[in-house]
Chains A and B, each alone.
Chain A
Amino acid sequence: MNDLSELSAGEAAARVRRREISAVDLTRAALARIAAVDAQLGAFVTPSEVDALAAAEAIDRRVAAGQDPGPLAGVPVGVKDIICTAGLRTTAGSRILERFVPSYDATVTARLRQAGAVIVGKLNCDEFAMGSSTENSALGTTRNPWDRTRVPGGSSGGSAVAVAARECHVSLGTDTGGSVRLPAAFCGVAGLKPTYGRVSRYGVIAYASSLDQVGPLGREVADVAVVLQAIAGHDPADTTASPRAVPAYLAALEGTVRGLTLGLPREYFVEGMQPEVEAGVRVAVDQLERLGAKIEPVSLPHTEYAIATYYLIATAEASSNLARYDGVRYGLREPRPVLGEMYEATRAAGFGPEVKRRIMLGTYALSAGYYDAYYLKAQQVRTLIRMDFQKALETCDALVTPVAPTTAFRLGEKTADPLTMYLSDIFTISVNLAGLPALSVPCGFDRAGLPIGLQVIGRPFDEATVLRVGHAYEQSTDWHRRRPPL
Chain B
Amino acid sequence: MAITRDEVRRVAALARLRLEPAEEERLTADLGHILEAFARLSTLDTSAVPPTAHVEEGRTAFRDDVAANPPASDALLANAPARDGRFFRVPKIIE
> B80 — which chain A residues lie within 8 A by C-beta?
329-330
B53 near A210 with CB under 8 A, answer yes
Stretch in A156-164, A273-281, A358-366 touching the partner: A358-366
A382 near B18 with CB under 8 A, answer no
Stretch in A37-45, A183-191, A373-381, A407-415 touching the partner: A373-381
How many B residues are at the interface, by size bracket? 35 or more
> B35 — which chain A residues lie within 8 A by C-beta?
364, 374
B 52-82 contacts with A by CB, 8 A: 52-57, 60-61, 63, 68, 72, 75-76, 78-82
Q: A333-B81, A419-B37 are in contact. Are A347 and B16 (CB under 8 A)?
A: yes
A305 near B51 with CB under 8 A, answer no
Interface centre among B56, B80, B81, B92 (most CB of A within 10 A): B81
Q: Is the interface of B mostly helix, strand, loop or mixed?
A: loop
B 13-67 contacts with A by CB, 8 A: 14-20, 23, 26-27, 30-31, 33-35, 37-38, 40-42, 44, 46, 49-57, 60-61, 63
A 326-351 contacts with B by CB, 8 A: 326-333, 335-345, 347-348, 351
> B76 — which chain A residues lie within 8 A by C-beta?
103, 329
A11 CB, nearest partner CB in chain B, Å: 36
> B61 — which chain A residues lie within 8 A by C-beta?
234, 239, 243
A380 vs B51: C-alpha distance when bound (angstroms): 4
A197 near B57 with CB under 8 A, answer yes
Interface size counted on chain A using CB atoms at 8 A:
73
A311 is an interface residue with CB less than 8 A from chain B: yes
Q: A356-B23, A386-B55 are in contact. Are A373 and B42 (CB under 8 A)?
A: yes
A380 near B90 with CB under 8 A, answer no
Interface centre among A348, A364, A374, A386 (most CB of B within 10 A): A364
A 379-410 contacts with B by CB, 8 A: 379-384, 386
B72 near A383 with CB under 8 A, answer no
Binding site for A on B (CB under 8 A): 3, 7-8, 10-12, 14-20, 23, 26-27, 30-31, 33-35, 37-38, 40-42, 44, 46, 49-57, 60-61, 63, 68, 72, 75-76, 78-82, 88, 90-93
Given contacts A239-B61, A312-B41, A337-B91, 16 further A-B contacts (CB under 8 A): A100-B79, A196-B56, A197-B55, A197-B56, A302-B44, A305-B44, A312-B38, A328-B90, A337-B92, A341-B18, A343-B16, A360-B27, A379-B53, A381-B44, A386-B55, A418-B33
